[in-house]
Structure 1
Amino acid sequence: MKRALKIGKVFNTKIEIHWTFLLLIAYVAWSTYNAGGNLNEIVLQIAFVLSIFVCVILHELGHVRAAYHFGIPTKKVTLLPIGGVAQIERMPEKPKEELIVAIAGPLVNVAIALILFIVFPITDMYNAAYAENSTSISYTTFPLYLFSANVVLFLFNLIPAFPMDGGRILRSILAMKMSRMKATKIASITGQCFAVIFFVLGLMNNPFFALIAVFIFFGARSENYTVQSQELLNGYEVQDAMMTNYLVLSPEETIDSAIRKMVSGPDIDLLVIEDNKVQGIVTREKLISKSKERNSYEILVRDIMSKNFRVLEEHNKLSDTYLMLQRTKNRLFPVLRNKELAGVINLEKIQHFIMMKAKGFQY
């Protein structure tokens, strides 16, 4: 489900098309053909859909450029059948900065619409289409419908349904007068209310709206949980949540020995230590995979350990570490104190820390 085709790179951000986007193109072609359209009309419909999604990519790049201005990188922009998703590393916590990042995308659609309005006789096209009572796209009316699509994208994204742009704009405005956590909660509840409305409308008219509703509902819920968790983590460091009791392996151990250690404890991934220095990390999946080979008793830990790991310092902010762990594929991180190994931390441990803080436990 995660497979996507990389089509370019802008502002050090990968632009990808998710494979499910091809299903949308196939559906457009099939529905046009099923409605009696010829090859020329099918090509025109597909071209129109692709043009809209070019505008969607430009919309997302508006967010990316604004975030880049504030020193926040974006890993990638992925094009999906329901729109574009920009994986911005984090949203600015300052309300004014978040407002700029959130509104940058919709303003791109305004700019596109204005360019189309100036370059093409949009008003004449509208009058001609209205007089003919025609809703079909032709080479003549193509700019008119692209203009209309950008206006719709602008208005739709301004709906205050978190985590859409309008919801983020709402949160940033509210955060100017109250705490970010309270502003997020209000924006999240507003987004979930809109999601319910969209879902009902989708069931009655268009399943596409129901799909968007599900995305909005769980997106709003997830954002609210993440912000509340960050608030609970504020003021704490990695050393406050790290584990000091953990299993370690030697590079010269066999994987049979490593598996026995893994089974005897709760650890999923294990550190490989030599001379009190981290040499690598061995994952459960790697151990299980290699244990199935015929010569598994001869394979040493150093032959399968991953040397691609990130080391944290004990005084790193726990809230920043929490966000970083959510974005990375690695699950276990060594923690150093004065360049010596002091402990390890993973996402599960931080989530346990959050749960205990939410229940009032004082660290």
Structure 2
Amino acid sequence: MWNFRVTTIWGIPIKVNISLLIFLPVLAWLISSTAQIEVYAAIVSGLSGTQLDLARLQAGSTPWLIGAAAAVGLFASVALHELGHSYAAMRYGLETESITLWILGGLASFKTMPREWNREFWIAVAGPITSILVGLACYGALLALPASATVTLFVVGWLAVTNVVLAVFNMLPAFPMDGGRVLRALLARNRPYASATRIAARIGTGFAVLFAVVGVLSFSPLLLLLALFIYGAATGESRTVALADLLAGLTVGDVARPATATIEADARVEELVDRMFADRTTEFTVTDGGEVVGVVTVRDFRALSQAERQADTVADLMETDLPRFEETMEAFDALVALDTGGASAALVDGPSGTRVVSREDFSSAMEMRRLVGESGPF
């Protein structure tokens, strides 16, 4: 939401989130503060062997120029970091849907995530390696620049230091940060992928709590935001992997139920209510001339008055804009599509006709898998 596409590299859309546009001036202001300039001027002077002129760096509007250049350079570095991940993924034939720059850095969205531990390992470390290389390139430029280029020396030196810090920070085992993904990859060498994800996610949530405590004590809103992000992403990915494991090997055709509880589209809602009580079911497949055309549930008529129930037909209430899946589609992919579309159910087409699948069907399938412990289809 609120992402703006700025360019495309290697066919990958590079997007900027509105949170970054709001944060950039704040970041520029923080970098341009007297304390920051003094600290980094000393560091850059040590790295370059040239004593930077503090008075020149702090004269007039120069601090704002430094802050703006450094802030933009930082997020350009973050984009290169994410492109490092994307390049490694491309080497394995994996597609990157987009790279989004936002207030906490960058996010590379992959179409599919590899489960092979060595692939995930190299994709994860490619980002920090890229940041180290960018830092070394900035350091090389720092040594090559003339001593008179005070402002440029400061910005390039600041980027050299910041890229190394970025690489080191990202290697913390706070899943789903790069270090956390490296940890999961190493754990997955000798244990199931879901188990490795659970362990990495628990460690990630531990780091989230640590960041939150430090954020409160140091009055750092960014650390609190990072803590929330890590906690939500770690628990979310752990849940997703668990669902994928429970649905592994199943197609949506295995999960879909036959359209046994059916009602005609031209039936009155009152008749639907009577059928629901009689059949002890809260969801019906709607047919029109024997063809499945939609789904109706108890939620669809709950707010209707008695007069409306007598006057309206099932066709007036039923959900018709349901997604349609081929029965050979993988069950997990179908569940993701169902959630993404916000639909309560979907129609499943196959040689034997059209059937219906709902979230409850996926839940039942996963519960059966968990209880029985079998990996095959039903």
**Shared fold (TM-score, shorter chain, > 0.5):** yes
| CA deviation string 1:119-178 (max 9, x = no partner) | 3218999xx9xxxxxxxx943211111011110111011101111111111111111111
**RMSD of aligned Cα (Å):** 4.2
Match of 1:340 in 2: 353
C-alpha displacement of 1:81: 0.6
Q: TM-score, normalised by structure 2?
A: 0.72
1:153 to 2:171 alignment: no
Aligned pairs for 1:79-228 (under 5 A) are 79-121=101-143, 138-205=151-218, 206-228=220-242
Q: Match for 1:207: what amino acid?
A: P
> SS state of the match for residue 5, structure 1?
strand
Quickly say closer, same or farther: Cα 1:266–1:8, change in 2 above 3 A: farther
Contact 2:32 2:67 in 1 (8 A): no
Contact 1:122 1:143 in 2 (8 A): no
C-alpha displacement of 1:33: 8.2
Q: Match for 1:46: what amino acid?
A: A
Distance 1:26 1:217 in 2: 27
> SS state of the match for residue 167, structure 2?
helix
Q: Match for 2:362: what amino acid?
A: I
> SS state of the match for residue 8, structure 1?
strand
Match of 1:17 in 2: 16
Distance 1:281 1:306 in 2: 10
Quickly say closer, same or farther: Cα 1:271–1:196, change in 2 above 3 A: same
| CA deviation string 1:224-277 (max 9, x = no partner) | 111122221123221232243477997xx8xx99xx99xx8966xx99987877
Match of 2:85 in 1: 63
| CA deviation string 1:47-82 (max 9, x = no partner) | 211111111112112222322333332322221111
Contact 1:99 1:169 in 2 (8 A): yes
> SS state of the match for residue 168, structure 2?
helix
Q: Match for 2:203: what amino acid?
A: T
Sequence identity percentage: 27
| CA deviation string 1:316-362 (max 9, x = no partner) | 33234334445556664321212832x13345642454355445698
Quickly say closer, same or farther: Cα 1:306–1:46, change in 2 above 3 A: farther
Structure 1 stretch 141-150 or stretch 95-104: which is displaced more? 95-104
Match of 1:230 in 2: 244
Quickly say closer, same or farther: Cα 1:326–1:306, change in 2 above 3 A: closer
Structure 1 stretch 147-156 or stretch 85-94: which is displaced more? 85-94
Q: Match for 1:177: what amino acid?
A: N
Quickly say closer, same or farther: Cα 1:32–1:216, change in 2 above 3 A: closer
Q: TM-score, normalised by structure 1?
A: 0.74
> SS state of the match for residue 96, structure 1?
helix
Structure 1 stretch 189-198 or stretch 328-337: which is displaced more? 328-337
Structure 1 unaligned spans of 5+: 129-136, 283-296
Match of 2:303 in 1: none
Quickly say closer, same or farther: Cα 1:346–1:49, change in 2 above 3 A: farther
Contact 2:131 2:164 in 1 (8 A): yes
> SS state of the match for residue 106, structure 2?
strand
Distance 1:33 1:58 in 2: 24
Quickly say closer, same or farther: Cα 1:276–1:8, change in 2 above 3 A: farther
